[in-house]
Amino acid sequence: MLKLIGQLLYVVGRALGGDTSSVKEVIKPCGTIDINTASSILLDKLEEMGDDKAEIYLPDSDIKIYNKSEVAKAHELKEVSSIKYVAETMDCDDFAAELYGKFAGLVWTNIHALNWFYDEAATFWFIEPQTKVLSKVLENWQGEEIRFFLAR
């Protein structure tokens, strides 16, 4: 209901000549995959990495998927990556928690926190929230063992 009211106010504002250029489009999922498929993809990713110790937390029976090109240009990702890094105050876990609060899953490695999502082809992607880089694999500085995956 609140979403409809917001859309109505947006349309009325434009009709009255208001400036809506500062309104940012919120990223929306393009679909879902079931929990079994999501779990299989994560287990395959762990096997690919030679890692069998990670915990997987999938809180819903359907996991949201996103269009990769929309994620790459998402306002939410730009907003989080623009936050100033401050050691021990606003560092990797804080950036990852910020993006988790917006749309992406959370992943912790043995040395780093970052995010992840499934795209429209059910492909798994890591997201480095500090640099906006999307990748199918971890870089060496991001760690080599996954501690856990937490879905949205």
pLDDT digits over 113-145, tens only? 999 999 999 999 999 999 999 999 999 999 999
Domains annotated for the chain, with CATH where assigned, are 24-150 (3.30.460.70)
> Which of 57, 64, 60, 59 minimizes the C-alpha distance to 33?
64
pTM here is 0.82
Length of the chain: 152
Lowest mean per-residue pLDDT among 16-30, 40-54, 97-111: 16-30
